[in-house]
Amino acid sequence: MMKTILFDLDGTLACMDQDEFIKQYFQKLGELAASRGLSEPKRLLDAVMAGTYAMMHNDGTMSNEERFWNVFPQAYGEGWQETTPLIDHFYTHEFNEIRSIVSPCAVSRRLLHDLRQKGYKIGLATSPVFPRIATEQRVAWAGLKPEDFDYISTYENSHYPKPSHEYYGEVMTALGALPEECLMIGNDAEEDMCTADWGFSVYLVTDHLLNRKNLPIEAYPQGTLADLASYLNTLPDLRHAYTRMAQYYETDSMGIVHHSNYVRWMEEARVDWMDAVGFGYDAMEKAGVSSPVLAVRCEYKSPVRFHDTVRIYVRLAEFTGIRLTVSYEIVDACTGALRLQGETRHCFTDKSGRPVSLKKVCPEAYELYTRHIL
């Protein structure tokens, strides 16, 4: 079952010309070098290109960041240490000026929001040759935020270049995903669509299509970013849904459901979800395990009234085998209007109340819960 969506950035989520970006990148860096009195700005640019080339052929024995700084001093030669403050300054100031070539896209923001609402993990599989500060700026240029993603590849956390099999392996490991659980979305016929050979589902975005080798692309699902949004709308909601109708006794003098009842509703939905997972409270107690509540959080968005029917979406947000966090979203079953967002945190204990690891005392249940983390 598909649970993880990977996106390319440049030309996919960010509306931009990649060749123009590279041109302006080196132009801005060269201008800064000249303004800072470097006698040979081209020497700096050549060293950066050498370090980038080394990252694009990295073998995994060190991170891309380490590979760059292993090669850059040799390529620049004597006095290379004087360039590091300049490069740092470039990424915190001049680099951001390139944003003028990027057009923020409302479609990108909406489709990420909708996928998150459905419980999908989202990764940004962009070429990991930039430091995190630069990658996060590029994300902002697209009108997005780093927290929109569960994982972002950068030169600090990557040991291989995109589009190697090992690169995508690192991304999947970070997201806890298998190839058959992933959908890769990008605009590059080679670097993004190669994942289809490894068992990924794919979608080729054609607004800024890159197909430098004129590869056959007819077999890939494809379309504009607007077409992609329609395609993603057909993906199922991964969250467990529990439906109930508000009862009269649950309302207060103002005719709305009293706030305390939502905690009971969350428990009802959690019990229903645990049964669906295959390890409910009855099975848990037979195994000698309890799961007490450690904390409850509720954010009330809009009221529920007598006879209203609500749908409670349940998602396992975190699971360590010792603790788990369950998130809830209560919406009106007819209109979809958000009524409440909540969360409960739990631990596992034995009958005497001592904390236990589900992985040790009930490994079958541990595996069940691990497969349902969203």
> What residues are labeled active site?
252
Q: Is the dihedral of CA 26, 30, 33, 39 positive or negative?
A: positive
The strand pairing partners of 349, in sequence order, are 290, 355
Residue with tokens 């209560």: 330
Q: Cβ atoms within 10 A of the Cβ of 38, count?
A: 17
CB 284 within 8 A of CB 349: no
- How many CB atoms sit inside 10 A of residue 10's CB? 23
Taking a C-beta distance cutoff of 8 angstroms, is the pair 259, 298 a contact? yes
Among 56, 22, 138, which residue's Cα sits nearest to residue 30?
22
Question: Cβ distance 171 to 125 under 8 Å?
Answer: yes
If one counts every other C-beta atom within 10 angstroms of the C-beta of residue 301, the result is 13
176 three-class SS:
coil
Q: Look up residue 360 and give its amino acid.
A: K
The closest alpha carbon to 357, from 371, 369, 373, 374, belongs to: 369
Helix (H) or strand (E) run with residue 345 in it: strand 338-347
